[in-house]
Chains A and B, each alone.
Chain A
């Protein structure tokens, strides 16, 4: 048996090569930033800075369906997909991990046997410029809307569901609302 350090750790080896789609997206972002047209924070050109990227983990029942949803409907970029249980996506500064319950790693059962599952009320919040139009377009595309557009303190907001029933909140800041920090 090869004396490989990974063998010692008994870690499974998984493919982690970035997908060509991701490489293309990154090149587009860098080009846009160099042209002065993009938010520098959205460009992940500095590997050292990536560690600070806010990261969120969602549980999904089907990996491919979830990846297609977040890419196709919400503009996430795919960093890697390691079937059947794990994917890593980006949108701006957000790193979104998708894990499938029952698959080793984050999907593994807890010591008491309970299994992670999709759902719950905690969620990521994505800012959009036209919430009414966005929600309508998503609804037309067959996306489930849990709560239609409503008005809060300084934002209008809506709740949509991914195919596994996880919530994603969309917000549109009210006129005159100033982003804090």
Chain B
């Protein structure tokens, strides 16, 4: 069951669906509107929305009350754990996926940031300490 929901703003919902499905193993749950899709992987539900005008029935990606448009990008992201980060990164790079950085070694994990077709970051990580896998 999807217990956690994340919303990403994308320029092109169809391109985003293809990316998350084909590159990162998400499944498409629904795509009832050109500006809206719901994908899932494990317990994560990923809602993809394209910016819509103020009068659009879909409420998640309308402009703010002051007229500011929502847009892709930023640095906040969801993270996916992979057993072999170097292998996963190599595969994605070969498939033409964009990277913001090279693999860096942090305190609890090796990590790297890829971008979806709209430039939203997704972080892939490989735990290198038991604490990073949470809980003992």
Residues of A within 8 A of B (CB): 9, 11-12, 14, 16, 18, 41-42, 44, 47, 50-59, 79-80, 82, 86, 88, 92-95, 97, 104-106, 108, 110-111, 116-127, 146-148, 150-153, 155-157, 159, 166, 169, 171, 179-181
7 contacts between A and B (CB under 8 A): A50-B133, A56-B78, A92-B4, A120-B75, A122-B120, A147-B64, A157-B60
Q: Are B70 and A121 in contact (CB under 8 A)?
A: yes
Of the candidates A82, A127, A150, the one whose C-beta lies within 8 Å of that of B59 is: A150
* Chain B residues, Cβ within 8 Å of A166: 76
Known A47-B134, A121-B74; further 4 A-B contacts with Cβ < 8 A: A106-B111, A123-B7, A147-B64, A180-B2
Closest to A145 in B: B65
Instruction: Point out the residues of chain B lying under 8 angstroms from A12, CB to CB.
Output: 107
Complex CA distance for A122 and B72, rounded to whole angstroms: 7
Q: Is the C-beta of B43 less than 8 angstroms from some C-beta in chain A? A: yes
Please report whether the interface of chain A is mostly helix, strand, loop or mixed according to DSSP: mixed
How far does the alpha carbon of A86 sit from the alpha carbon of B33 in the complex, in Å?
A: 38
Enumerate chain A residues within 8 angstroms of B42, measured Cβ to Cβ: 52, 54
Q: How far is the CA of A166 from the CA of B129 in the complex (A)?
A: 28
Q: Is the CB of B77 within 8 A of A181?
A: no
Give per-residue flags for B94-118: 1 if the beta carbon is below 8 A from chain A beta carbons, else 0. 0000001110111100010000000
Contact A105 B58 (CB under 8 A): no
Question: Which residue of chain A has its CB nearest to the CB of B77?
Answer: A57
From A47, A82, A93, A119, contact of B43 by CB (8 A): A93
> Number of B residues contacting the other chain (C-beta, 8 Å)?
57
Chain A residues near B102 (CB, 8 Å)? 111
B133: A residues at CB distance < 8 A:
47, 50-51
Alpha-carbon distance A123/B76, docked complex (angstroms): 8
Chain B residues whose CB sits within 8 angstroms of the CB of A16 once the complex forms: 129, 131
B45-60 contacts to A, CB under 8 A, are: 45, 47, 57-60
| In contact, A55 and B62 (Cβ under 8 angstroms) | no
B6 an interface residue at 8 Å Cβ cutoff? yes
CB neighbours (8 Å) of B100 from chain A are 110
Which of the residues B59, B72, B73 comes within 8 Å of A155, measured between beta carbons? Answer: B59
